[in-house]
Chain A
Amino acid sequence: MEQTKSFFETPAPPNFKGVLSWLITTDHKRIGLLYLYTITFWFILAVLLGLLIRTELMFIGPTLVEADGYNALFTLHGVIMIFLFIIPAIPAIFGNFILPIQIGAKDVFFPRLNLLSWYLYIIGGIFALVSLFGDGLADTGWTFYVPFSVGTQTNVSYAATAAFILGFSSMLTAINFITTIHRLRTGNMKWLQIPLFTWSLYATGWVQLLATPIISITLVLVVLERVLQTGMFDPSKGGDPILYQHLFWMYSHPAVYIMILPGMGVISEIIPVFSKKSIFGYKAIVFSSLAIAVAGSLVWAHHMYTSGMSDTAVFVFSLLTFVVAIPSAVKVFSWVSTMYKGSIWLGPPLVYAMCFVYLFSVGGLTGLVLASAGTNIHVHDTYFVVAHFHYVMFGGTGFAFFAGLHYWWPKFFGRMYNMKSAYISAGMITGGFLFHFTPMFVLGMQGMPRRYYDYLPQFEQGNFLAGFGAYVMVAGILLMFYNLLRSLKKGEVATSDPWGGVTLEWSISSPPSLHNFETEPQPPEYPYDFARVIGRLRGK
């Protein structure tokens, strides 16, 4: 139907063919897809590692691996999921592909820097792989807490270097996005005409700039400790291990918002489109993103209530943590209010989005249990924490990632996946998720500590159920990817606007042409005005 060739047929820079036209491309869409392939690889690997952990824990005593292997398993699962999947997934895949289009640009501001970020991502991944060999896998957990991370004989240096490089990669992407949003908005697009997904990436970018350098320097210090033994965190040499925790969480708590904010952006796009109704509280969502970015940077020490801080510090950080819940709740209410009296079409993206809202709310509310110092002492470092952050990270960001995949897939490839399989896999993932993580809340309340290789007999039932749920969930995830891949060959050809969206990416062909827009795009007065779409639907 379109005369222009899609970006699949027109490489940038021109004159290169085949693999090379991908490996040296500066086209933001191709780089987005490169990220899609590599990130999906790591995601599936880490999912399978997680499945091994759950299988090990399904039955009491050693099942698959010994205790050391178990430590390595959960470390690798955490490092890959955090640094190679959740942090880059939504910004690097959907951000790269969609952000420039949403603001009517031809590309990001620094296209070559963008490619460099991808290569850094690959190098970081290679370092993570190298740590598999030699002295054995790091066994510290993804937090690399001292003094253990300095004393252990395993490959902590490689894993820390991997995280350092990946941090650098995500920082460069953030610089790129912020500059792009400032400089490349089309013609007269004002700040409050920017679509919410792009807004969320803008807020995320700032958190990345603010926080990532801190983890970089912290990891450098850990490596220096191991190589030179400066004693910076070693109490016997005058150092203070608690300071390590402060520095670590100064990054890693804001990083939680780096992970969830882009996911919230995806949901803010999907819900109005599938309700055919303007988003409720556009400005409130924009400013709550920025508020989360600011407040989320000030709550890091709530991970450390039991590490030995003063009561005043505990009180202040507890209060600040409660404050962050407010902008998050603003978003949840806005999403639900958007659906109220909307004309809802329960397409697969919306199914994932609704699961997101539910799971994220449960995760957020249990976060308040952890935020208040009294209850935190009771459940600190138990499975309650594991369940909480999997609800927000996987139930939140993971589901937003799936939602985004189903939402933008036809735009990426110009093919529509099989709806029935999409619904089935969404159901399996959600059902499996609930079976998988809900027992962990109970186990945590009963006192089962996290990261333990084995447990007391009274915890066996809960762990068995969790393992059972894990299998259902993983089967659902594999079915979902199979369904998406299958659509590339057998799927129906998608129109340029299969969902009736109003942001600029739906006004161009699927897949887009090399320069995205044939003529200078005209952004709508208000980014979520569905009058035109509804008129078109009525006309049918």
Chain B
Amino acid sequence: MENQNDATGKRIGMWLFLYTEIMLFGGLFVLYAVYFNSYKDDFIAGGKDLDTLFGIINTVILLISSFAVAASITAIRRKSKKLSLVFVISAVICGLVFLVNKYFEWGHKIEVGIYPNSDLLIDGEPGRNIFFGLYYTVTGLHGLHIVIGLTLLVISAFFISGNRITHQNDTLLENSGLYWHLVDLIWIFIFPLFYLIL
């Protein structure tokens, strides 16, 4: 088929898909905006309950992983298969560390009784319930996207080692990288909205 080698077309398709992902999270951000408007004080209090240190570490981890993905694309374009593989795998490791952090963070919150429909939230301020409801929904959905992104990166790693992604044919790696940057970008918005409100 003639479009097998049309990298631009494949990129267009990926960008369109990323656009739908932004709209998906956009719906949640609309909810956040409206509820922040109605429950400002509860949101600020809720933000103080979250562990900012965890948030900062995770932000840094994701930024590093995004750099690694970008570097791996540059590496493959300079025909350095080994270096590219190293970068992709380190990005995957960063992603896994992020998920482990998230696991401990959620685990801690659940331990102190903050989870959807918990007695603490139901009996407390309604705004607080909404804040943590949004927190679990948004970070949960984001976590799911991390898992999808990791899957794509792992597939890319296999393709690099099997020489199916080369300097002439790097679209899959580039598209996986684009996806990973998007996941990173969404986190850049989630982090201040939940951890840094005042």
Question: Is the pair A231, B6 in contact by a Cβ cutoff of 8 Å?
Answer: no
B129 to A231, Cβ gap below 8 A?
yes
Main DSSP-derived SS at the A contact region: helix
What would be 10 A-B contacts, judged by CB atoms less than 8 Å apart?
A110-B13, A183-B8, A209-B20, A212-B23, A214-B27, A229-B116, A231-B116, A237-B133, A239-B126, A239-B130
Interface range, A side: 35 or more
Q: When A109-B9, A110-B13, A213-B24 are in contact, do A243 and B129 touch as well, CB less than 8 Å?
A: no
Known A171-B20, A240-B34; 16 more pairs at CB < 8 Å: A109-B13, A174-B16, A178-B12, A179-B12, A211-B23, A213-B21, A213-B26, A217-B27, A230-B116, A230-B117, A231-B116, A231-B126, A232-B31, A237-B126, A238-B128, A243-B34
Contact across chains for A107 and B1 when beta carbons are under 8 A apart: yes
- Listed in ascending order, the chain B residues whose CB lies under 8 Å from chain A are 1-3, 6, 8-9, 12-13, 16-17, 19-21, 23-28, 30-31, 34-35, 38-39, 116-117, 122, 125-130, 133-134, 136-137, 141
Q: Total A-B residue pairs with C-beta atoms closer than 8 Å?
A: 110
Q: Is A218 positioned at the interface, with any CB of B under 8 Å from its CB?
A: yes
Whether the Cβ atoms of B122 and A212 lie closer than 8 Å is: no
* Chain B residues within 8 Å of A211, by CB: 23
Q: A214-B26, A237-B126, A238-B39 are in contact. Are A232 and B137 (CB under 8 A)?
A: yes
What's the Cα separation between A214 and B31 when bound, in Å? Answer: 11
The reply to whether B24 and A230 form a contact with Cβ atoms under 8 Å apart is no
Asked if A237 and B130 make an inter-chain contact with CB atoms under 8 angstroms apart, the answer reads yes
* Ranked 6 nearest A-B pairs via Cβ: A238-B126, A213-B23, A230-B133, A217-B27, A183-B9, A213-B24
Contact A183 B129, beta carbon cutoff 8 Å: no
Q: Which of A38-46, A220-228, A341-349, A354-362 contacts B (4 or more CB under 8 A)?
A: A220-228
- CA gap between A224 and B130 in the complex, in Å: 13
Docked pose: A218 CA to B35 CA in angstroms: 16
Contacts of B25 in A (CB 8 A): 217
| Contact between chains at B16 and A217 (CB < 8 Å) | no
Instruction: Select B27's contact among A110, A113, A224, A247, beta carbons within 8 Å.
Output: A247
* Neighbouring A residues of B134 by C-beta, 8 Å: 232
Q: Are A213 and B27 in contact, with the CB atoms below 8 A?
A: yes
Inter-subunit contact A224/B137 (CB<8 Å): yes
Q: Are A175 and B127 in contact (CB under 8 A)?
A: no
List the B side residues contacting A106 at CB < 8 Å.
Answer: 1-2
Cα distance, A113 to B3, chains bound together (Å):
13
Q: Which residues of A contact B20 (CB under 8 A)?
A: 171, 175, 209, 212-213
Cβ B16 vs Cβ A243 within 8 A: no
Task: Scan residues 199-213 of chain A and give those whose CB is less than 8 A from a CB of chain B.
Answer: 209-213
Which B residues are in CB contact (< 8 Å) with A237? 122, 126, 129-130, 133
Residues in chain A near residue B26, CB distance under 8 A: 213-214
A221 (CB) vs chain B CBs: closest residue: B137
Partner of A218, one of B1, B16, B27, B122: B27
